[in-house]
Amino acid sequence: MLGVALAALTLAAGAHGAAAARPPIVWNAIPYSAKRKSEMSAYSRRHYGFSGSELRNPKVIVEHLTESSTFSAAWNTFAPDVADSELHELPGVCAHFIIDQYGTIHQLVPITLMCRHTVGLNWTAIGIEHVGFTPNDVLTRSRVMSASLRLTNWLRCREGIAINNVIGHNESLKSPYHHERIARLRGQTHDDFPTSSMVKYRAALRKMTC
């Protein structure tokens, strides 16, 4: 059933001629102050060994689930520049994009700045969050899946990112770009978007063109 739904989605995406065209994106910026930039730079120095808050030549796109039911709940998690509850570090966690349950793409941060969304990959990864709790909240909702594929395809074509480097958060430790200087965090990842779901996601992405 899922396969049928994915096939239909792929056809729908192709029928729109989406390919590498920029999908509609609503700008809902979170505050990214000079203080937050300097904290991002210090984070980068601690975790990756170089200073700076800029995201240059990103090589990876990481797909996430917000584990919340609304866009505003997710936005409100990312907006404040406060230490996160899990690792207790600054700057506050964020993602570049959130796709809501209606398929609207919201952008929170320019892709020229780093966001803290995936331990080991923030130095080179664009983060895309999806409002929902399980991968099926994306894979089986045609508007959400279509928006997600269009955004990801546009970004990956624009930045020259290989499809194999479009990964789920849960796949972070297997990425060839994973790098973490702090030993206790080297095995840290999250459950969202495991390989079983990303195989289906990447198969749909492979049917799109740049």
Binding site for Zn ion (CB under 5 A): 64, 169, 190, 192
* 13 vs 198, beta carbon nearer Zn ion: 198
Tokens of 2: 């899922």
* Distance of closest approach, residue 174 Cβ to Zn ion, in angstroms: 15
Instruction: Name the residue with tokens 């796949």.
Output: 171
Q: Look at the alpha carbons of 85, 34, 107, 47 in this order and tell me if their dihedral is positive or negative.
A: negative
116 close to 94: Cβ distance less than 8 angstroms: yes
Tokens of 102: 């209606």
* 141 vs 190, beta carbon nearer Zn ion: 190
* 64 vs 116, beta carbon nearer Zn ion: 64
* Distance of closest approach, residue 189 Cβ to Zn ion, in angstroms: 9
* Distance of closest approach, residue 64 Cβ to Zn ion, in angstroms: 3
Q: Which residues of 155-188 are buried (b: 16+ CB within 10 A; e: fewer)?
A: bbeebebebebbbbbbbbeebeebebeeeeeeee
* 44 vs 77, beta carbon nearer Zn ion: 77
Instruction: Name the residue with tokens 């390989």.
Output: 195
Q: Among candidates 110, 122, 158, which has minimal Cα distance to 43?
A: 122
* Distance of closest approach, residue 19 Cβ to Zn ion, in angstroms: 27
* 18 vs 99, beta carbon nearer Zn ion: 99
As a residue count, the chain comes to 210
* Distance of closest approach, residue 112 Cβ to Zn ion, in angstroms: 21
